[in-house]
Amino acid sequence: MILAERYQVVRPLAQGGFGKTFLACDRYLPGNPHCVIKQFRPLNLADSQLPTAQRLFDLEAKTLYQLGTHPQIPTLLAHFEKDGEFYLVQEYIAGVSLADELTQPSIPNERALASRQDYAYQLLHSLLTALTFVHQRSVIHRDIKPGNLIRREGSSQLAVIDFGAVKTIGAQSSSSASALTIAIGSPGYIAPEQQAGRPCFASDLYASGVVALYALTGKAPQQQSTNPETGRLQLPSDGLASEPSFIQFIQQLIKFNPADRFPHASAALDVLQSLNLTSASVALPPTAFPISSPPFPETILPDEPFPTTSLSDPKTASLTSAPAKTFVPTQQNILSPTESRNRQALLSKVDRFWIQGVLEHSLHGQVLLTLGLEEKQQALSLPWNISYSQADQPPQPLDAGVQVYDIFAQQGEGRSLLILGEPGAGKTTTLLTLARDLLKNAQPGQRIPAIFNLSSWTGGSIAEWLIGELNSKYQIPKAIGEAWVAGQQLLLLLDGLDEVRGDRQNDCAIALNTFHQNYGPELVVCCRIKDYEALDQQLGFQRALMVRSLTDEQIWQYLAQADSGLTGLRSLLERSAATAVAVKGTSESDQTLFDLARSPLILNIMALTYQGLSASEIPALTQGESYTQQLFSAYISRMFQRRDIDSPYSQKQTLRWLHELAKTLTQTSQTVFLIERMQVPWWLTAAWQRYSYVGLLFLAYLVIATSIGWQVVSHRSLPLAIAIGAVMCARIFGIYRIVPAETLRWSWKKARTSFLLGLTLGPMIGWALKVGFVYIFSPGYCVNIPGCLLEISLIGLLFGLVLGIDYAIIRGLSGTRIATITKPNQGIRQSGKNAILFAVVATIAPALTSLIFANSTSTQFWAIAGLSFGLALGGGEACLKHGILRFVLFCQGRTPWHYPSFLDYAAQRILLQKVGGGYIFIHRLLLEHFADMKPQK
């Protein structure tokens, strides 16, 4: 049976009065991971009652969806309705149920008192931790029992399952009848008030106490001693545990009157932790109990480690989080030294470029506030009739303490996430925060977090684009990049879907969906909410979040910081908030300054611009002009007023050069600017500009052709040979495309393979070159000279042999390894170094061969030819074209000659930020501002 055209049912798990539970495989995700499907069958339901049932089912699904954000509770993956029956799809938790665990003969009957107490304490602590999270969401489980508790495979934590009987505590009427519910529970574990149809939080605690008693004594509830007069459970005062206070705690949990128990799980957990049972701190190892494998091929991978979640309430922070699991190396994640080095190189670059270079120095970092998140599942497109929420359902804000890593980590294998938000709301900051947490928890064998900006996507497959971006942005050789992408070894963090060129954004969304379906990657995508809503194609991801704007309380809290010098800005915003009109339009001119301050970026721009100024000193903003543009202009002016920075460039020069940079990046849909990746079509758009570049380049090619041609041809044939040589250079090396040769490492593997090839083909090529040049350019050379052909053939064969050895050495020097250090324009500088080394190798060997077997003229020819060959092959032609491009731009006044120094200066002025060897504007909005401005001539 296949449900929703996606879930392949494997076998039934359970059946009850309200429906069935199945184990299924998700055919939509790679590896077909397992999931649990619960079928709810309303009995004798009339057609008129179906909408009500649908509403109640959606309400229950919403509750379960919120509960699934905790690591000890299975995630609700989807819910849907089909033929009047309702289905819940939840995470499948691999492990052993506590019911099976407690029936093991050695647990806990043969244990000492202290060990039995440790076991029961650990079990109860884990259970109450999960129930604390449940009760804080105003939810009662109502069916706590060993069969609904699973110890995850490889973890000591218990997972609470089967929330089919959940009850949400909401506003109830005074009528006692309205407070009654159906008595749901399991015999022996159901609390008295719950059996009477009046469940409360303490009902779950009663069941928890019975479970702990089972663990402590090894006896099921039906086997426990009871009071013959009342029929209630009766515990002996001694002989159960080494610590009497623990027995008293369990006794309070199973009190008959719920008022005599604890009011909720958090209170019970506080008391349990205060018992100071030091011996109980040692939890049972995860492998203490056998893990029963299902009778079908297991495809579920080990769970990702879940980090400690920092909640806003320090009292409950430790109660609603789970420690990260200990990573255990397996055969699958043992890496070779080269793989380990390459992996660590990329991790280090992501951390150095994006976390240290951008996140820790971002403007958002100046606002020490937690960005709020809310669910946005209606933004996703799913190919089957499954809904996560109603279209008109109000936003679902997540708890203040829930971080994006918490949500992403508990999705499981094949996880995908869409992050939406207004411009400047903090989407990129949220993405970088997720990257930081992923890097902290990265383990060998897990996917490598890597950040890319979709703005550079211009078409084609995402896989090919990723390989190119790995090469250009992270200096990853393409061979390694192809293996990583094909092997799903990357965790992709993709920013800037809205920064893709407007007419290509929908195509990019389609390409992302295709890549997601074909490769099954783990990925996160960020996009502005308005750009995303304008797409024809939505993303088919698992989850979507919206970054919320700052609240009034957060804004005033930030402005009230001591010694911040923001009193003037605070007064200005207070007046703006007080004079805000009741009804506003949708244009920015209708917004007040206080509305704009809800963006963390704009709030920081205001703070940096107006810090230390009184309200009267802050210039008035014009109503008819965009407030945002005025703020950016004021911010730029204030950055030039900083006295702690040397100013080697005038403000006019700086603005003109930044305008040219921003305009080029915008036109080419680029975000990260790498000097060595400058391309002629991007910068030289006018025809006369390209003519000047081509003329200078062709002149350089003529010089190269002349240096070779005068050695081997007669004076009459020299012009033709030079022209042919220049055209050949242009044909071989190209005109516009600049590709730096950045990597130069010795590889024995490549050298051995190339050596065999060089010995085979080298002599043949050498013979053809020598004989061909003699008969083409000196046809009368061998006339009347006995043995001339044999002599030049021998010279050609020997030269070809040396050429083959030369080729092997060059190939060995071009082994692919990932560079660990990246500096501005490093690609061009490294290309120059590589060209010199290649030229030395390519010059000496042919020249020595020619010197031994030929005359001095041939020696000069082969030396110059080898020099030119080595320079070009090693990266010299890239340096040549890059230098000419930079020279043309400098003569036009569009860039400074020493570009890295200028870009570093702009970064000191907090206009740019360094990302490894590249630069980005501090925000996309500032990039757009510079691109639109008209600098003075």
* Spatial distance between the Cα atoms of 500 and 454, rounded to a whole number of angstroms: 6
Structural tokens at position 659: 């305008």
* Spatial distance between the Cα atoms of 63 and 167, rounded to a whole number of angstroms: 9
Structural tokens at position 563: 């010694």
* Spatial distance between the Cα atoms of 520 and 447, rounded to a whole number of angstroms: 12
Task: Name residues whose C-beta falls within 8 Å of residue 66's C-beta, 6 or more positions apart in sequence.
Answer: 137, 396
* Spatial distance between the Cα atoms of 218 and 146, rounded to a whole number of angstroms: 12
Q: Characterize 678-695 residue by residue with b for buried, 16 or more Cβ atoms within 10 angstroms of its Cβ, and e for exposed.
A: bbbeebbeeeebbebbbe
Which stretches of 244-329 are DSSP H helices? 244-253, 265-274
**Nearest CA-CA partner of 909 in 894, 890, 930, 893:** 930
Neighbouring-strand partners of residue 751: none
Task: Name residues whose C-beta falls within 8 Å of residue 890's C-beta, 6 or more positions apart in sequence.
Answer: 896, 897
**Nearest CA-CA partner of 667 in 907, 496, 458:** 458
Asked if 227 and 250 count as a contact pair (C-beta separation under 8 A), the reply is: no
Conformation bin of residue 213: beta by default, left when phi > 0, alpha when psi is -120 to 50: alpha
Calculated CA dihedral for residues 831, 834, 839, 845, nearest 10 degrees = -160
* Spatial distance between the Cα atoms of 479 and 460, rounded to a whole number of angstroms: 19
The string of DSSP letters for 205-236 reads HHHHHHHHHHHHHS--GGGS-B-TTT--B---
Catalytic residue among 118, 143, 162, 498: 143
Residue 342's Cβ-side half-sphere holds a number of Cα atoms within 13 Å equal to 23
Task: Name residues whose C-beta falls within 8 Å of residue 270's C-beta, 6 or more positions apart in sequence.
Answer: none
User: Annotated catalytic, 143?
Assistant: yes
Asked if 146 and 158 count as a contact pair (C-beta separation under 8 A), the reply is: no
Cis peptide before 600 (omega within 30 of 0): no
Task: Name residues whose C-beta falls within 8 Å of residue 16's C-beta, 6 or more positions apart in sequence.
Answer: none
Tally Cβ neighbours within 10 Å of residue 411.
19
Structural tokens at position 382: 């799913």
The single-letter code of the amino acid at 660 is: E
Give the full edge-to-edge strand order of the sheet including 490-495: 396-397, 373-375, 543-547, 416-421, 522-528, 490-495, 448-453
* Spatial distance between the Cα atoms of 693 and 696, rounded to a whole number of angstroms: 5
Sign of CA dihedral 866, 868, 871, 877: negative
* Spatial distance between the Cα atoms of 926 and 919, rounded to a whole number of angstroms: 13
* Spatial distance between the Cα atoms of 262 and 268, rounded to a whole number of angstroms: 6
Judged by DSSP in three states, 881 sits in helix
Asked if 614 and 582 count as a contact pair (C-beta separation under 8 A), the reply is: no
Number of continuous H segments (helices) and E segments (strands) in the chain: 30, 20
* Spatial distance between the Cα atoms of 385 and 81, rounded to a whole number of angstroms: 8
CA angle 604, 607, 613 (to 5 degrees): 170
Give the residue numbers marked as catalytic: 143
